[in-house]
Structure 1
Amino acid sequence: MDVTAAFDAVAGSYDQARRRLVPCFDDFYAAAVEVAAPPLRAALAAGRTPEVLDLGAGTGLLSLLLTAALPGVRVTLVDGAARMLAVAAEGLAARGVAHRTVLADLAGPLPPGRYDAVVSALAVHHLDDDGKRALYRRAADALRPGGVFVNAEQVAGPTPALDRRYDEVWLAQTAARGSDDAEIAAARERMRHDRPAAVADQCRWLADAGLVDVDCFYKAWRFAVFGGHRPVA
């Protein structure tokens, strides 16, 4: 089963397990929303509809949180899993959020347009390192001047020993939050498709793509929020 099929298979139940499998769920997603917010607030203040591109949007969880915090934002959601996108579209429509969905692989071209924010959550780690670098360049090119790229991501430890420690902590925290053996085994099966990279490497790739003020804004073991801005001039 490839990565798209693996996620389509759990589209209906995917969000129910998020708070168990992402132990830092609230802080993790809140940080991503806050990093993305400034250029969106600026667009709203200028009387313009902010445009957000959500890469690997899945069930639309990040877009839902972002548009709840900043009503009036329009989102374009890209994902290769049709069932996940259908769940996202249903949730956004129910909340009256202006949106469109694009069924596409993250390795391909991005939807045309200029975006105030390009965001992603728990998706880019499915690409290999060359794929990540190429996507970061495309994301930077898709931003308006002053726009922000935000990646809320599962990352690798900077050393093999730390990577093993990340996994030990994740396993203990998920079990403490109620994940049973079956749920953890299913997560492990999906994680076979993962190709995470260390935060420092990815921040360097963002800078190489032309972004500025690149930083890791939040990190809790294997979960990190990092990004940067397209220069204004």
Structure 2
Amino acid sequence: MGVAEAFDAVAGRYDEARRRLVPCFDQFYGTAVEVAAPPLRAALASGRTPEVLDLGAGTGLLSLLVAATVPGVRVTVVDAAPAMLAVAADQLRAAGVPHRTVHADLTDPLPAGRYDAVVSALAIHHLDDDAKRALYRRAAGALVPGGVLVNAEQVAGPSPDLDRRYDDVWVAQATALGSDDAEIAAARERMAYDRPAPVAAQCDWLVEAGLVDVDCFFKAWRFAVFGGRAAV
């Protein structure tokens, strides 16, 4: 089973566990939306429909939050798991969000177009480091001037000891929020496909990709939100 098949298998119930398995859910997703919002609002103010590209969109959770915060955006959701994409399409349609779905791997060429925001949540860590760097370059090149790239991500600790500490904290927090042994074990099965990298390295790769104002905007142990802006 590959990563797409692993996520397709849980597509119908994926979102129900998010608040337990992402203990910092509100700040994590809220920060990503806050970083993405300014260029989207600027596009609206100029009379243009803001374009959002959601990479590894899964069930469309991040796109839905962006669209709720900045009504009027148009979203392109990309994922390699067709069942997850189907859930995303249903949810975006129900919310009245203009969208298109693209069945593609994150190593494939990006959908044609220029975007005011390229966003991603809990997806890019499935790539190895070379593929992450290549994706960041492609994503930066797809931004309009002033557009933003924001990645809400699961990251590695900067040392093996800290990485183990990240995991201990995650288990304790998820358990406190109601995750049981079965849910955590199922999450670990999906995590077998993870290739997380430290925040500092990924911010360096965003700078290499040509972005400016690169920063980590939120971090709580293994969950971080970082990104940058295309120069005007």
TM-score interval, smaller chain: over 0.9
Percent identity of the aligned residues? 79
The answer on 1:206 being equivalent to 2:213 is no
> Tell me, which stretches of 5 or more residues in structure 1 are unaligned?
none
Root-mean-square deviation (CA, aligned residues, Å) is 0.3
Q: Report how far residue 126 of structure 1 moved.
A: 0.1
CA distance in 1: counterparts of 2:160 and 2:212, whole angstroms = 29
Secondary structure of the residue that 1:76 maps to in structure 2? Answer: strand
Alignment of 1:52-201 (within 5 A): 52-201=52-201
CA distance in 1: counterparts of 2:154 and 2:193, whole angstroms = 12
Q: Report how far residue 134 of structure 1 moved.
A: 0.2
Q: Report how far residue 91 of structure 1 moved.
A: 0.4
1:134 maps to amino acid? A
CA distance in 1: counterparts of 2:189 and 2:54, whole angstroms = 25
Q: 4+ runs of 1 displaced by more than 6 Å?
A: none
CA distance in 1: counterparts of 2:45 and 2:2, whole angstroms = 43
1:123-174 residue CA offsets vs partner (Å, 9 max, x unmatched): 0000000000000000000000100000000000001110000000000000
1:125 maps to amino acid? H
Q: Report how far residue 43 of structure 1 moved.
A: 0.4
CA distance in 1: counterparts of 2:109 and 2:158, whole angstroms = 30
The answer on 1:11 being equivalent to 2:4 is no
Secondary structure of the residue that 1:12 maps to in structure 2? Answer: helix
Count of paired positions: 232
1:109-134 residue CA offsets vs partner (Å, 9 max, x unmatched): 00010000000000000000000000
Q: Report how far residue 97 of structure 1 moved.
A: 0.4
1:143 maps to amino acid? L
> Tell me, which stretches of 5 or more residues in structure 2 are unaligned?
none
CA distance in 1: counterparts of 2:30 and 2:80, whole angstroms = 25
2:2 maps to amino acid? D
